[in-house]
């Protein structure tokens, strides 16, 4: 049982590191994109251009968020499966 707990803990640690890395990467990318959009907005020569820049940025930010939320959901699902796997194996062995 201790071996299964250690394997589960190792899987959880690995999964949480992957989630943290993904969140950090997304935050950095999101920040860089917002700075770039602000620079474009600040240099806009007309209201129409400013509105187009803002619209493009909002569309891109929304699509990026949806993609990231999907990816994070998959990472959490994979984490749960990997953490449970050692116990699932133990239960299968015990019922034979």
Residue 1 CB partners (closer than 8 Å, separation 6+): 90
What pLDDT shows up at residue 6? 86
Per-residue H/E/C for 46-64: CHHHHHHHHHHHHHHHHHH
Average per-residue pLDDT in the chain? 91
Total length of the chain: 96
What is the pLDDT averaged over residues 17-43? 96
pLDDT of residue 3: 81
Looking at residue 87, the DSSP 8-state letter turns out to be: H
d(CA 19, CA 76) in angstroms, rounded, equals 8
**What integer pLDDT is reported at residue 7 of this predicted model?**
85
Give residue-wise pLDDT tens across range 68-94: 999 999 999 999 998 888 877 777 777
50 touches 41 (CB < 8 A): yes
- The pLDDT of residue 28 is 98
Per-residue pLDDT, 96? 67
Cβ-based neighbours of 61, under 8 Å, separated by 6 or more = 30, 33, 34
């Amino acid at each position: 049982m201790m071996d299964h707990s250690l394997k589960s803990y190792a899987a959880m640690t690995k999964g949480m590191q992957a989630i943290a890395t993904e969140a950090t990467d997304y935050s950095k990318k999101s920040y860089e994109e917002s700075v770039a959009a602000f620079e474009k907005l600040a240099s806009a020569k007309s209201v129409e251009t400013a509105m187009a820049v803002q619209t493009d940025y909002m569309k891109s930010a929304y699509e990026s968020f949806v993609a990231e939320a999907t990816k994070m959901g998959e990472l959490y699902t994979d984490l749960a499966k990997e953490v449970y796997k050692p116990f699932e194996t133990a239960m299968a062995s015990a019922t034979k």
